[in-house]
Amino acid sequence: MANNKKMKKTTRSNLLMFGFVIVFWAVIQVVSLTGHMTSKLNGLLIPVCAYIIMAISLNLVVGFLGELSLGHAAFMSAGAFAGIFFYTTVGATLPKAAALVISFILGGAAAGLFGILVGVPVLRLSGDYLAIVTLASGEILKNVLSALYIGKDSTGIHFSLKDQFSLGLKPDGKMLIKGAMGIPGIQKFSNFTVGVILILITLAFIVNLKNSRAGRAITAIRDDEIAARATGLNLTHYKLLAFVSAAVFAGIAGVLYALNYSTLVADKFDYNLSINVLVMVVLGGMGNIFGGMIAAILLTILPEMLRGFSQYRMFIYSIVLIVMMLFNQAPALVAWRQRLVSKVKGEDRKAEEKVETADASYFEEMKSKSNEKTGNEESVKEEK
Amino acid sequence: MKKVLSIVLTGALAASFVMSASAAEVIKIGGIGPTTGPAGIYGSSVQNAMEIAVEEVNALDGDIQFELMFEDDTHDAETSVNAYNTLKDKGMQILGGTVTTVPCLAVGAEAVADNMLCLTPSASSQDVIDLGDNMFQVCFTDPNQGLASADYISQQGLGTKIGVIYNSADPYSTGILNTFLAEAEVVGLEVLEPQAFTDDNSTDLTTQVQACKDAGADLIFLPIYYTPASQILKAADDMDYDVKFFGVDGMDGILSVEGFDTSLAEGVMLLTPFVATSTDEATVAFVEKYKEKTGGQIPNQFAADGYDVVMTLYKACTEAGVTADMAPSDVCEALKAVLTSGDFSVDGLTGEGMTWDASGAVSKAPRGMVIENGEYQPMD
């Protein structure tokens, strides 16, 4: 503990994050090697990894850039469809490892491209307007993918946005993407270690970006857009950087997710999923990557844990969500928790300061939480 | 501090997953379907009916005793796979699911890998049984419905110019239409350009009906569910378009649409395997029990399919000599052999003499029904 205190704050919290992921991986390995792994837990591992990557990447937009995006699932979808389309067609002829690596890269690239496409016109907006436009672009992509038919026969590849008949496939033809039915018959690949490696790559990228010059520019835009512009920052450039980076990782998460199931449909990636990921980020604390990861794990596992309640499952889930959100973010409860923590530590004098901080307005609280550079940082770190 | 707490809690969460399955003297049947959410009615119907059937089987006090474990999947593939894994942990030996098609494709792939017998009540896509030789259906495969409809219309001479309105975003609808069009060509029916809609624009279907009217259709084939079908009937009535309608099993339920004037459904024809108002002994008894269980609800076709799943499994387990201590994979092999043996047949609510071949598709005769005086009447 004493050693830790001497370390730079950022280094300490980064080490904790990476350490947590590795411990998480190790625990699962032990459970699985000792034969205690249940099918249920095993089946949840890959979705958990995918949602962790989603939460980390959305944090870049919501937590660090400070823009509300309600279309994050669309990037996941773009990545999933691009990656899986390659994986089931060309990828089937390649060695498995190569096919996988290319699928992940393609998925990320496709999502990044879609991110640029959406981001360039959309990032001129901010706040509620941006939220609505991202929501709409997500729905557009979902509907286009739901209407997309691609088939292949001896005469080549056919493509239609209308229906399966208009492809005019020969009898030897094979449907590759079947509209609302999406891509069926995916050769499943679910490997937890690969999932964890992807989480670590995402973490490494986002953490480095955050602590770089660009990252400081991004947080500066969040804190005061006018001041940031006045210092000569190229706002569009940095906004786009954050937005597109987030999209790329969402795309990779999409490929990871889709590989875990034998069928991929566009309907899965609707605004509900976007909002679910947003809830993970908000619950974990905007700008708090570690919190977002924990929230992603909790929110993926919780509905499955509550199966015992049968049809009241989602009802109880919502109540738990409200309670957790209040416990984590309500100013009065934050103050109470901080008092409790300092009492345990016997630092009464310091606690008074913290209480003052916590009583400040809710938004100030949120801001200070995610901002490494403010004076309140220590108190915030402590309560995590 | 909170970090430590979080880690401990997460650990506790993970630990609670680590449980071992217990042994039992009953054969454990799993069921998966949406019991909540927009598709909730389908899963609930199947669950209720399966519970009734299991009670009946257990009341026989024979060698075969069933335990039903039903899990909700909210019509989502990811949740459905989670539900499947949950059931596996609970010691499921046979899967009587899943209810809807897309989740069934995801779960089916898992069931194929585990060699778990999967007899779905209502996931009707051809892709479902194409997954593997452990996959069986109680409902008609979508293509078969299209085939039967085209044959029926042609044999009975129901129409000369046939319009089609279908849901292009629904695999059920496109699946039926595909083979309907192919078969119509074979039997020489004149089919007009199919009119499409999607779930997102299904509230006003006047344009599609108008297009059929303009083209001079005298019969409209509706391979869709009953909710949009009620819109179509209303639109046709509003424009004084006198035309016959022909539906498939998704049309079952048209008489129970809220706020729909059921007199518009007079004369609508449909091919359906189950009719709640029919007077045979088994159906009457089932409808009675179902009403009692659900507080007066009339069972739909999904419920009947669910009931037949359990009854088929009962008969197959008896013939195969399946016991409670067998591993799922052994149960699967035994049941597969019986189901595809050729002399195995079941008289269920949804058809007499249902048999299965190695593809997993059921073979049973569809019944043509026509709505008269607010009730289904056999057409022939």
pLDDT truncated to tens, each residue of chain B (380 aa)?
A: 555 555 555 555 555 544 433 444 899 999 999 988 878 888 999 999 999 999 999 998 888 899 999 999 988 999 999 999 999 999 999 999 899 888 999 999 999 999 999 999 988 888 899 899 999 999 888 888 888 889 888 888 888 899 999 987 777 888 888 889 888 988 988 998 888 887 777 778 899 999 999 999 999 999 998 888 988 999 999 999 889 999 988 887 788 777 888 888 888 988 888 888 778 888 999 999 999 998 888 888 889 999 999 999 999 999 998 888 899 999 999 999 999 988 899 998 888 888 998 889 888 877 788 888 888 887 76
Residue labelled with tokens 């007499």? B352
Distance CA A204, CA A215 (A): 13
pLDDT of residue B199: 74
> Quick one: average pLDDT of A73-77?
96
- Concatenating the DSSP letter of every residue in B174-207 gives HHHHHHHHHHHHHHT-EEPPPEEE-GGG-S--HH
Residue among A254, A249, A248 at smallest CA distance from A112: A248
pLDDT of residue B14: 52
Does residue A184 sit at the B interface (CB-CB below 8 Å)?
Answer: yes
pLDDT of residue B165: 93
* Dihedral angle, C-alpha A144, A146, A148, A152, nearest 10 °: 160
- Among candidates B17, B36, B81 on the partner chain, residue whose Cβ is nearest the Cβ of A41: B17
In 3-state terms, what secondary structure has residue B64?
coil
pLDDT of residue B13: 52
Residues A317-366 pLDDT 10s: 888 888 888 888 788 888 888 888 888 876 555 544 444 444 444 445 45
Residues A173-221 pLDDT 10s: 788 888 878 898 888 888 999 999 999 999 999 999 988 999 999 999 9
pLDDT of residue A219: 93
Residues 207 through 246 of chain B touching chain A, CB cutoff 8 Å = none
Distance CA B197, CA B212 (A): 14
H-run or E-run covering A153: strand A149-153
Distance CA B171, CA B122 (A): 13
Residues on chain B touching A27 (C-beta within 8 angstroms): 11, 14
- Do B168 and A147 make contact, defined as CB atoms within 8 angstroms? yes
pLDDT of residue A361: 46
Does residue B11 sit at the A interface (CB-CB below 8 Å)?
Answer: yes
- Concatenating the DSSP letter of every residue in A231-285 gives TT--HHHHHHHHHHHHHHHHHHHHHHHHHTSS-B-GGGSSHHHHHHHHHHHHHH-
Instruction: Sketch out chain B's domains with CATH numbers.
Output: 24-140+282-364 (3.40.50.2300), 143-272 (3.40.50.2300)
Pick the residue of A27, A192, A263, A310 with the most B CBs within 10 A to test the interface with B by mutation.
A263
Provide the pLDDT confidence category of residue A380 given band limits of 50, 70 and 90. Answer: very low
Q: Strand B161-167 vs strand B219-222: parallel, antiparallel, or unpaired?
A: parallel
Percent of the residues in chain A that have a pLDDT greater than 90, as a whole number:
47
Phi, psi of B118 (to 5 degrees): -130, 110
Reported ipTM: the value is 0.81
Answer for the pair B146, B177: CB distance below 8 angstroms, yes or no.
yes
> Quick one: average pLDDT of A151-180?
80
- CA torsion sign for A304, A306, A307, A312 is negative
Write down the pTM of the prediction: 0.83
